[in-house]
Structure 1
Amino acid sequence: MVGSNKNRKSRLAVRYVLATILLLIMVYPYLYMVLNSFADWTQVDRQLIPSKFSFKSYEWLFTGGDVGIARPWMNAFFNSVIVSIASTVLMMLFGVMVAYALAKLNFRGRNAINNFVLFHMFFPAIILLIPNFLIIQKVGLYDTYWAMIIPKAVSLWAIFMYTNFFKAVPDAFIEAAKLDGASDFKILYKIMMPMSKSITAVIFLFLLMERWTELLWDMIVVRSDNMLTLNVLLSQMFGPYGSYPGPLYAASVLLTVPIIIMFAIFGKKFKEGMQFSLK
């Protein structure tokens, strides 16, 4: 009995050690980025763990540092916030309404739309890149917020997730609400949405993260400096600003902060929603 307990503790200790090593391997790249963003410029990318730290990289971002030319980082940051929030809200709004119709309303062509959603989810989005760009140019939206928002306003993945969730809600709730005179819109926002807080947190976080990290489309449809998003501005640092690795790391850290904050706020609901989506 004593021997078996020792073996069990040994196996448990080995698992903890392996888990710790794997965790460090996954976390260290981000930790390396954070440390180098605060590192003295003489030590950036010179050591695995810098020994001298300063705020020079962040000062360079917001004031231009020793270059003396302020980079439009705050403007690009707010552009990313505006575009990401607007796109995510529209994707959530359209996703909820379309999913409710597909899950709970009977109308001709519902199965065809369902099949189209499933088919389009596996359709390479990059194939539509040029047609979408030409349409944006034709309607005069090039180099505007709308060029970055409207083409990203619908998420078939959000429609798919909400549809599956709404199908699991018993029809008795809807029938009872209709007997009380509730419209479909009232049922959707008074009954269905409060019941779907967990899955909404999952969809919201994934959509926000996907839109926040978008680069290719934003790079194509804007050209003026005052319309650049943070991702596009960050990508430009690999060109003329490639000799400033410290600020590059600092900008990368700033890019991840909103996502970390969102996960910290909605972490509990996110876990609950993931449990449902994996069932």
Structure 2
Amino acid sequence: MAVATKKNKWEQALVIFIMVAGGVLVSIPFLWMISSSFKPESEVLSIPPTIIPDNPTIENYINLFTNMNFAVYLKNTLIIVLFSFLGLLFNAMAGYGFAKYEFKGREKVFYIVLATMMIPGQVTMIPVYLLLNAMGLTNTMTGIVLPGLAVAFSIFLFRQFMTTVPDDLIEAARLDGAGEFYIFFRLVMPIAKPIFAVQGILTFIAGWNSFLWPLIIANDESLYTLSVGLSLLQGQYANNFALQMAGAAFMVVPIIIIFSFFQKYIVEGFTMSGIK
């Protein structure tokens, strides 16, 4: 028994060592990016390399907002994130409707929604672009945010979770005279906090990283997002690695922070969405 216990301890120690070593290896590029963003341009490629900047500076971050219009890119990105959260509410309503309302063709319509998940987004970009162009919405913020208001995957997750809400609870609220919007906002939404949390995180990440669609639909730099601005940075300042590292850090750090605080909700949300 003692031999088995000792063996288990060695196995646990080995697993912990491998996990720590793997975590350190994965973190090296990220730490190097953060460190280089505070270095002068001449120090980034210095030999031998410096992990901690010898002459730390925030000049690279200042240049992002003075020479590269990152303030405009940040504003556009935040607008996209805001409207993405509005779309999140619409998706929740759609998921609730599929889960709790009986109407003709409900299953068929839901299967059509699921079928759209099988189609790569790149395939539908040209048809969506042509539709928006016919409506005069190209090169506008409306054209950027409109296609993202409805997301099939989000509707699917909300629908799966809403099926776990007891029908008797909803019927009792109706018998008490509660309206449908009251039931949804005051009764269903508090129960659905876990799925709202996970979808909120995923929505923020998707909106914050929006790149391809804004690049296609907009040709005015005043409508570009942070991701598009970062790609411009790599083109215009290809040899200024310190400035590129600052731009990359400005993009990545907020997502890392949010994911670190709310990662447990992502796991819980996906787990609970699969419960019938």
Question: 3-state SS of the aligned residue for 1:168?
Answer: coil
Match of 2:116 among 115, 120, 135: 120
In the alignment, the residues of structure 2 paired with residue 5 and residue 51 of structure 1 have an alpha-carbon distance, to the nearest angstrom, of 46
Q: Which residue of 1 aligns with 2:81?
A: 84
Q: How far, CA to CA, are the matches of 1:232 and 1:224 in structure 2?
A: 11
Check whether the contact 2:37–2:243 (CA below 8 A) recurs between aligned residues: yes
Equivalent residue number for residue 153 of structure 1 = 149
TM-score, length of structure 2 as denominator length: 0.91
Q: 1:55 aligns with which of 55, 58, 61?
A: 58
Deviation of 1:219 after TM superposition, in Å, equals 0.5
- Displacement, 1:146? 0.5
1:16-65 per-residue CA deviation (whole Å, 9 max, x = no partner) reads 110101112222222221111112322325537354232232232233xx
Give the secondary-structure state (helix, strand or coil) at the position aligned to 1:11.
helix
CA distance in 2: counterparts of 1:259 and 1:51, whole angstroms: 24
Other-structure match for 1:67: none
Which position in structure 2 is the counterpart of 1:165? 161
2:13 corresponds to which residue? 13
Whole-Å Cα distance in 2 between the matches of residues 251 and 44 of structure 1?
15
Aligned residues: 272
Q: Superposition RMSD on alpha carbons, in Å?
A: 2.0
Tell me what 2:180 maps to: 184
How far residue 265 of structure 1 moved from its aligned partner, in angstroms, is: 5.5
Gaps of 5+ in 1: 64-69
| Secondary structure of residue in 2 paired with 1:42 | helix
Indicate whether 1:74 and 2:71 are aligned: yes
Letter in 2 for 1:62: F
Whether 1:136 aligns to 2:132 is yes
Q: Distance in 1 between matches of 2:151 and 2:215?
A: 20
- 1:162-219 Cα deviation digits (max 9, x unpaired): 0000111111111111111112221111111100101111011112211211211111
What is the rounded CA distance, in whole Å, between the counterparts of 1:278 and 1:93 in structure 2? 20
Q: In the alignment, does 2:242 pair up with 1:246?
A: yes
Is 1:197–2:189 an aligned residue pair? no
Structure 1 stretch displaced more, 263-272 or 137-146: 263-272
Q: Which amino acid in the other structure matches residue 126 of structure 1?
A: Q
Q: Corresponding residue for 1:42?
A: 42
Contact 2:41 2:242 in 1 (8 A): yes
* Change in 2 beyond 3 A, CA 1:205/1:45: farther
State, as a whole percentage, how many aligned pairs show the same letter: 31
Structure 2 contact 214–223 (Cα < 8 Å) conserved = no
Cα distance between partner residues in 2 of 1:79 and 1:27: 30
CA contact (8 A) 1:91 1:153 kept: yes
Does structure 2 conserve the Cα–Cα contact (< 8 Å) formed by 1:44 and 1:50?
A: no
**Alpha-carbon shift at residue 141 of structure 1 (Å):** 1.5
What is the alpha-carbon distance in structure 1 between the residues aligned to residue 269 and residue 181 of structure 2?
A: 23
